[in-house]
Chains A and B, each alone.
Chain A
Amino acid sequence: EPEVTQTPSHQVTQMGQEVILRCVPISNHLYFYWYRQILGQKVEFLVSFYNNEISEKSEIFDDQFSVERPDGSNFTLKIRSTKLEDSAMYFCASRRDKNTGELFFGEGSRLTVL
């Protein structure tokens, strides 16, 4: 069964360092997302991406964040200068149809900022 894959599963970094989280969405999906979950809190939307551009972003997704689809398969989330409060589980997700399609999530990348 096709699945969304994410790497790394866990990354530890120092405050102020740049981090890139990688995702391979399901191959015939067109809409890609990043969500995050701070420990013990709700899953929160960060950004959606379609047709090689950001279609929507939350207020969490400030200038420190960026997304890219560098080739036909990978979808990346970059945090330029990490802060302690960026420590969270980051989930990539994809779906085929914008509104009616089922959303499939990866296993997540746990980011720990020291």
Chain B
Amino acid sequence: KQEVTQIPAALSVPEGENLVLNCSFTDSAIYNLQWFRQDPGKGLTSLLLIQSSQREQTSGRLNASLDKSSGRSTLYIAASQPGDSATYLCAVKGNTPLVFGKGTRLSVIA
């Protein structure tokens, strides 16, 4: 059964800092991995989708990497801003529907 773990559970950084969020999964037989952002009480906004054949994807200040064989992905946020404060969720698609991690709650302090 696929398990997705995200570390750290919470992170607080000063504005401008570069940061890395980590995601690990137990079953490497995946089709893709998706990173989402969730603001309090709101829905899930898709940030990046990485297919299993890809190593990384970039969107603006965000860069996600995927190492399928080791069951790891990272989300790199450059030059963080207070508006980046949210919970970031990692989710993996294998032969089962999308399986989510519990998320990393990020606070960027001005």
A interface residue numbers (CB < 8 A to B):
33, 35, 41-45, 48, 56, 89, 91, 93, 99-100, 102-108, 110
Contact = CB atoms under 8 A, between A and B. Distances in A.
B43 interface: yes
A48 B100 CA distance: 15
Interface in B1-44: 31-32, 34, 36, 41-44
A102 B51 contact: no
B43 A102 contact: no
Q: For chain B, which range describes its interface: under 10, 10 to 19, 20 to 34, or 35 or more residues? A: 20 to 34
Contacts, number: 50
Given A42-B100, A100-B31, A106 B43 contact: yes
Given A56-B97, A89-B41, A100-B32, 9 more contacts: A33-B97, A42-B102, A43-B91, A44-B100, A91-B43, A99-B31, A103-B98, A105-B44, A110-B41
Contacts of B102: 41-42
Interface of B: 31-32, 34, 36, 41-46, 49, 51, 89, 91, 93, 96-103
Main secondary structure of the interface of A (DSSP, over half): strand
A99 B97 contact: no
Main secondary structure of the interface of B (DSSP, over half): strand
Nearest to B36: A105
Contacts of B51: 100
Contact of A45 (B36, B45, B97): B97
Given A33-B97, A99-B93, A100-B51, A43 B44 contact: yes
Contact of A103 (B34, B42, B101): B34
A56 B36 CA distance: 23
A105 B95 CA distance: 20
